[in-house]
Amino acid sequence: MREKATTLYLGPQHPGITGNMMVRLKVEGDTVVKAVTEVGYLHRAFEKLAEQRNWLQTFTLMCRFCVPEPDPVEESYARAVETLEGREVPERAKYIRVLVLELARLGSYMLWYGGQAGSLGLYTIGQWSVGDRNYILDLFEELTGGRVYHMYIWPGGVRRDLPAGFEEKVLKTMDYMEQRLKDYEDLMFDNAIFRKRTQGVGIIEPEKAIEHGVVGPPLRGCGIKHDVRIDEPYEVYDKLDFEVPTEDGCDIWARANVRRREMHQSIRIIRQVIDQMPKGEFYNKIPNPQKWRLPQGDAYERTEAIRGEVGMYVASDGTEKPRRVHFRGAAYVHAVTLLEHVLVGENIADVSAIMNSLGTCPPEIER
């Protein structure tokens, strides 16, 4: 007898889903035959609000686009505004920005460790990594005053200079992280369950990857070496020595390995940044924000976040307020058309692991 397809609603409240969204699955037995992403639970109309605020007030909205890793969004916005205006950024600010971005990357990968392992039932890693992420959040708290949202990278530079003794604290935390990463890797990548559940699951064919606009670790997990940090180096990434790891598996295992290796590169970058950081100004002061007019035109700047390329399009009509601020999130592409494509033929139990490996982040889809 032929099995009849059943509809299964995964989310919006489901421990395996990566936020406020839903995937409507059509399943036959255990196999997904159709998947449809449904969003609309989280719309906060930031882009509409931005049209009614001045350029500086808009900056405070920007970090809210993505909860786990807000800094690349701020960075994209700050750089887009600077490009539009032609504003120079002091050298020290560029180094501090890279430091913040890499710390944010490390912190979000810690959260990803928890999500990826938790989606396969390995809860210990998540408890360890989310605990250790607090050491990075402590650094952010000391530097910016905020743990999750920092509102630190703004047009013209950064909001304040590094506090006294901050560099030593960062280096100390990095030493600790490096030693802890080994523990996570032993627990996750030497685990037979993790290996069996991820190898050959959630495959993205390399030829489909570019066509679907895949970016970031999922693209590098297909063996294609593209990273905004090397393709279009921003800030001081062209002066730093780091590698962009790739894997050939095209599956969850490959993407997890790319991320594992990237964490070590982040630590390497942070050490170099601390070593090379010049002294001097950290902020090129903007005029009175109430009267700060940007020239007519538009700009689009991209930054590499843990989910891939995130970008910010800004258009100005020559007044104090933006005409349009439009954010491009990696998850906007990954979690809708790509996810619907990848999930077909997979097992229900693997859906949330695949979502985690693609870096699904609903706040980026609806801003």
Partner 1 sequence: MEELKKNIVNKITGHFADAAVKAYDGNRVDFTVKKETIPAILFYLKDEMGYNHLSHISCVDWIEEKEFELIFILWSYTDHIKVFVHTRIDRENPVMDNIDMIWRQANTYEREIKEMYGIHFEGLEAPEEFLLEDWQDMPPMRRDFDTEAYARKTFWDRREARADAQDVRETITKRTGEELPDVAKKYTR
Residues that bind partner 1 (CB under 8 A): 36, 39-40, 43, 45, 47-48, 51-52, 210-213, 226, 231-232, 298, 300, 302, 309, 311, 313, 315, 323-324, 326, 328, 332-333, 336-338, 341, 366
Residue 5 or 336: the one with the smaller Cβ distance to partner 1 is 336
Minimum separation from the CB atom of position 296 to partner 1 (A) = 11
Residue 124 or 319: the one with the smaller Cβ distance to partner 1 is 319
Amino acid sitting at position 20: N
Residue 28 or 211: the one with the smaller Cβ distance to partner 1 is 211
Which DSSP category does 283 fall into? Answer: B
Residue 92 or 226: the one with the smaller Cβ distance to partner 1 is 226
Minimum separation from the CB atom of position 49 to partner 1 (A) = 8
Amino acid sitting at position 87: R
**What is the C-alpha to C-alpha distance for residues 345 and 331, in angstroms, rounded to an integer?**
21
**What is the C-alpha to C-alpha distance for residues 31 and 269, in angstroms, rounded to an integer?**
43
**Do residues 80 and 358 lie in contact, with contact meaning Cβ atoms separated by under 8 Å?**
no
First and final C-alpha spacing in the chain:
46
Residue 235 or 309: the one with the smaller Cβ distance to partner 1 is 309
User: Which three-class secondary structure string do you get for 287-320?
Assistant: CCHHHCCCCCEEEEEEEEECCEEEEEEEEECCCC
Minimum separation from the CB atom of position 149 to partner 1 (A) = 21
Minimum separation from the CB atom of position 52 to partner 1 (A) = 8
Please, is 275 exposed, middle or buried when counting C-beta atoms within 10 Å of its C-beta (0-12, 13-18, 19+)? exposed
- Sign of CA pseudo-dihedral 253, 136, 280, 284: positive
**What is the C-alpha to C-alpha distance for residues 106 and 366, in angstroms, rounded to an integer?**
25
Residue 211 or 248: the one with the smaller Cβ distance to partner 1 is 211
Minimum separation from the CB atom of position 39 to partner 1 (A) = 6
Provide φ and ψ at 223, rounded to 5°: 80, 10
Residue 95 or 234: the one with the smaller Cβ distance to partner 1 is 234
Which DSSP category does 148 fall into? Answer: S
Residue 155 or 362: the one with the smaller Cβ distance to partner 1 is 362
Tokens of 123: 């809860």
Minimum separation from the CB atom of position 333 to partner 1 (A) = 4
Minimum separation from the CB atom of position 361 to partner 1 (A) = 14
Minimum separation from the CB atom of position 76 to partner 1 (A) = 11
**Do residues 54 and 81 lie in contact, with contact meaning Cβ atoms separated by under 8 Å?**
no
* Nearest residue to 149 via CA among 13, 46, 242, 41: 46
User: Is the peptide bond prior to 12 cis by the omega test (within 30 degrees of 0)?
Assistant: yes
